[in-house]
Amino acid sequence: MINIAVLGYGTVGSGVVEVINKNHASINKKAGDEINIKYVLDLRDFPGDPVEKVLVHDFEVIINDPEVDIIVEVMGGVNPAYTFSKRALEAGKSVCTSNKELVAQHGTELLEIAKSKDINYLFEASCGGGIPIIRPLNSSLTADEIDEVTGILNGTTNYILTKMALEGSDFDDVLKDAQQKGYAERNPEADVEGYDACRKIAILSSLAYGSHIDYKDVYTEGITKISATDIKYAKHLGTSIKLLATSKKIEDGFYAMVCPVMINERNPLYSVNDVFNAIFVHGNVLGDAMFYGSGAGKLPTASAVVADVVDCAKHLHRNIMMNWSSQPLELMPVDHVKNRFFVRVKGSLTGDIGDVENVFGEVETVSLPDAPDEFAFITQEMCEADFAEKAEKLGTVISRIRAWI
């Protein structure tokens, strides 16, 4: 029997207990031993819930029990999750987590401790919810040198953008609706400002390129400035606006950014809607691959966590090598990154296109009948720094969205 302890009986924690109970026989068969939930740690009580029998309020009970081999950390947040995970690993207990904040911030250190103790720190559920992506990056795509990872990595913002496109509504209204339905947190900042996607692309990129990427170095823009008018233009152009998290190798360097991007139907991420996530990966021998599925939610996330528990059980005293060295990977400044830009400007197409062409050269233009005081254009490909300079020179820019079209 392999004893595990679950830290946190919130959405994911209760999902982990549910998944282990629901698929007990098949999970045990795949793990090669019986997985027994010996403890669940939470500060709260759960009267009437069967979890009461294994509920403890004190982490010391778990850490001091030599029978516990695997700890599931699904508390969220950096502290006390960091302290608990570190102590667990130092005590020779493997840790499985869905905690993207913790993995992005302390992943390298925790991986090194796990390696030194010949145990494991696994975090499949930290990116893309139930979608297998960490394990494929670490074990299936090892023949490749990966040069791009681009994903829709946040379900909340994808739901909001999908709704905005379907209903023509403004960001604030859709956010309120998403909060009422439980798809967005009461404090939605981490999702809507892109911070959550930023941490996830830092984790995926660290694994894909084998060196540590500091999430604080990733250029990040959220979706709060996307308006119903932007969406109208996007539809008119046959495109959709998605919050993309991307990292790419260009020339001799890597860059990473999170920002809204206008994409058309030729892009494989175009049809990824609602709370779904998808991750596109390009390798130098594989070519393209895409991983799609349920990117958030209780059971999909728990599915990934429990798969890690099974992996830990199969490698109880054997470290699974992770392609994520503590050597930092310095990202190039996004100033050099080239994109096309969709730009909205004040004025009229007939009266002011000359000024635009004087600054930006040849552009594609578009105007909407119900936005008479403005028009929009799409630039040729240019680097971020060039765009910023030209936009300032023109002086009439309302907003801009990167366009991969």
Contact indicator for 343, 378 with CB cutoff of 8 Å: yes
Is 156 a binding residue for ligand HSE by CB under 6 A? The answer is yes
405: Cβ contacts below 8 Å, ≥ 6 apart: 237, 239, 262, 263, 264, 340, 378
Of 17 and 192, which has the nearer Cβ to ligand HSE? Answer: 192
Closest distance of CB 162 from ligand HSE, Å: 13
CB atoms inside a 10 Å sphere around CB 4: 25
Angle between helices 349-360 and 384-394 (to 10 degrees): 140
Is 124 a binding residue for ligand HSE by CB under 6 A? The answer is no
Contact indicator for 281, 146 with CB cutoff of 8 Å: yes
Of 195 and 387, which has the nearer Cβ to ligand HSE? Answer: 195
Binding region for ligand HSE (CB under 6 A) out of 150-158, 321-329, 370-378, 385-393: 150-158
Determine which one of 38, 100, 163, 200 is catalytic.
Answer: 200
CA distance 281 to 186: 32
Binding region for ligand HSE (CB under 6 A) out of 7-15, 110-118, 148-156, 319-327: 148-156
At 31, the amino acid letter reads A
Of 65 and 193, which has the nearer Cβ to ligand HSE? Answer: 193
Among 15, 155, 260, 300, binds ligand HSE (CB under 6 A): 155
Is 311 a binding residue for ligand HSE by CB under 6 A? The answer is no
According to DSSP, the residues that pair with 148 across neighbouring strands are: 248, 282
49: Cβ contacts below 8 Å, ≥ 6 apart: none
CA distance 205 to 243: 17
Is 296 a binding residue for ligand HSE by CB under 6 A? The answer is yes
For residue 169, which phi and psi values (nearest 5 degrees)? -90, 165
CA distances from 95 to 163, 263, 279, 346 (A): 37, 38, 25, 54
Closest distance of CB 192 from ligand HSE, Å: 10
Has 115 been annotated as catalytic?
Answer: no
Among 13, 129, 222, 300, binds ligand HSE (CB under 6 A): 129
Q: How many residues of this chain bind ligand HSE (CB under 6 A)?
A: 8
Binding region for ligand HSE (CB under 6 A) out of 46-54, 141-149, 152-160, 324-332: 152-160
Among 101, 191, 311, 384, binds ligand HSE (CB under 6 A): 191
Closest distance of CB 108 from ligand HSE, Å: 20
Closest distance of CB 60 from ligand HSE, Å: 29
According to DSSP, the residues that pair with 68 across neighbouring strands are: 3
Of 154 and 162, which has the nearer Cβ to ligand HSE? Answer: 154
Of 187 and 327, which has the nearer Cβ to ligand HSE? Answer: 187
According to DSSP, the residues that pair with 246 across neighbouring strands are: 150, 257
- Residues in contact with ligand HSE by CB under 6 A are 129, 154-156, 191, 196, 295-296
